[in-house]
Amino acid sequence: MRITPSGGLQILLRTWQPDAAALRLTMAMRGNACQLWCNDNSVAAKIKLTLAVLAKPEPNDRWSATIVSTAREAWEHPPDYYHWEFDDSEVAALLLPPPSDPGADDEPRRTGSRIQRLIRRIADEKWPNGWKDITTGQIMKDVGGVLKDRGIDVPGRDTFLRALDRRKG
């Protein structure tokens, strides 16, 4: 099913902050991981390279997105003329981790449920220099707040312990 750029952004906001989600959608569009449609026509690759997804805050604490030109050239029609769309399944696929490289064993692979991976990702973003010395309670408070802001149920302490490799099993 096709969705608007705002719909695509809402999907990616489950995992990323608004600007990062818009950038991820832009890069996926340009790299052909997400086909862009305009007025029911597929947008050519050379045109997509001149476009970007722009996230915009709305008054009701939500975010919307629109397609903008990065080439600073005038468009033929007013902005309302263009009806941009993405395929929802292609956008949802951006939430999945990239396939692993079988030859890349530099670091042990982190496993676990989707929520455990999300907890680690948010902790990595919040503490880029490492969170090993941060207490589990502080991580639960800070990461739990981010999860709550994204509309995701905050899991229990046991899930956090497993996500942070502080409990096995």
Question: Which residue, 95, 110, 99, is CA-closest to 16?
Answer: 95
Alpha-carbon torsion, ordered 131, 136, 137, 138, to 10 deg: 0
Given this model, what pLDDT does residue 169 score? 53
The CA distance from 151 to 55, in Å, is: 18
Alpha-carbon Rg for the chain in angstroms? 19
| pLDDT, mean over the chain | 87
Amino acid letter, residue 129: N
Q: pLDDT digits over 72-89, tens only?
A: 778 889 888 999 999 999
Confidence of residue 96 (pLDDT cuts 50, 70, 90): confident
Coil, strand, or helix at residue 124? helix
Q: Which of 35-39, 40-44, 51-55, 148-152 has the lowest mean pLDDT?
A: 148-152
Given this model, what pLDDT does residue 100 score? 55
Question: Which residue, 166, 156, 163, 167, is CA-closest to 123?
Answer: 163
Contact 164, 139 (CB under 8 A): yes
Average pLDDT over residues 141-146: 92
Average pLDDT over residues 55-72: 89
Average pLDDT over residues 40-58: 93
**Percent of the chain at pLDDT exceeding 90:** 51
Given this model, what pLDDT does residue 144 score? 92
Confidence of residue 110 (pLDDT cuts 50, 70, 90): low
Choice between 42 and 103, residue whose per-residue pLDDT is larger: 42
Per-position DSSP letters for 11-75, written without gaps between them: HHTTTS-HHHHHHHHHHHHHTTSS-EEETTEEPPHHHHTTEEEEEEE-TTS-EEEEEEESS----
Confidence of residue 30 (pLDDT cuts 50, 70, 90): very high
The CA distance from 126 to 154, in Å, is: 17
Angle at 152 between CA 136 and CA 26, to 5 degrees: 105
